[in-house]
Amino acid sequence: MKRRSGSALGRGGLPLLATWASLALTTGCSSETTSGLPPLLTADGSTPPPVAVAPTISPNLTPITFRPGPDFAPITPPPVQPDLPDPPSLSGRFNLSVGSAFVTITLEGLRAPGVIRSVEVQFFNISRGTDITSIFLPRAIEQFRNTLIGRGNSYGDRDGITLTDGFTFPADPAAYTANVAARETVLVILVIRDSFGQALRLEARAQAP
């Protein structure tokens, strides 16, 4: 019996042992059984350093909220103011005298550093409350304007513009008689503007003889 079993092991036992060895090797290489085994040693007997494993970073799924930008109100800069010269002024006198069919203006010390651009002159009978500019000859009023326009900053006008003998405005005799009676008061208004729009307003009044 012993001889027969030995021969049986000799015939079929070797393949069986090989199968068991193969199963043992396969089982020993699995990740489940190696976790409890001691680490392998290096040639000098020391334990090798552990292998670093990169951490797993989960994506940030939080939505990003953008804050609205500041709402700046538009700023309008102030207008640029030019360095204007002094406005027209009068350092002397402005008078009116009334004759039988005319009036005379006396003007002294008129200053206009910005140059005179326009001249407006009007006459009123304030006793009646009427405008009597039309009774004076238009050419006289136009000549008076031309006498002043363009003057102001020349060497000759540095001390002011002066009408030495005054300026006389003749009137139509019939129209004058109909619109101005004795002892009534005549008013003249003179407005002078320079090239920068600055204005000087002058008034004078006198009583008719």
Q: Does the pLDDT at position 10 exceed 80?
A: no
Range name among 64-73, 130-139, 165-174, 176-185 with the lowest pLDDT average: 64-73
At 170-198, the pLDDT tens digits run 999 999 999 999 999 999 999 999 999 99
- Strand, helix or coil for residue 200: strand
Of residues 150 and 77, which shows the higher confidence score?
Answer: 150
Domain ranges of the chain: 89-207
Q: What whole-number percentage of the chain has pLDDT above 70?
A: 68
Query: What CATH number does the domain located at 89-207 have?
Result: 2.60.40.10
The band of 128, judged by pLDDT with boundaries at 50, 70 and 90, is very high
Q: Does the pLDDT at position 204 exceed 90?
A: yes
Among 40, 57, 37, 59, smallest CA distance to 49 is for 40
pLDDT in the model for residue 78: 80
| Mean per-residue pLDDT over the chain, rounded | 81
pLDDT in the model for residue 75: 80
The band of 6, judged by pLDDT with boundaries at 50, 70 and 90, is very low
- HEC assignment per residue over 103-137: EEEEECCEECCCCEEEEEEEEEECCCCEECHHHEC
Q: Which pTM was predicted?
A: 0.62
Among 123, 165, 118, 169, smallest CA distance to 146 is for 118
> In the predicted model, what is the mean pLDDT of residues 134-141?
97
> In the predicted model, what is the mean pLDDT of residues 18-33?
48
37 phi and psi angles, rounded to 5 deg: -85, 150
pLDDT in the model for residue 58: 67
The band of 41, judged by pLDDT with boundaries at 50, 70 and 90, is low
Give me the half-sphere count of Cα atoms (radius 13 Å) on the Cβ side of residue 144. 24
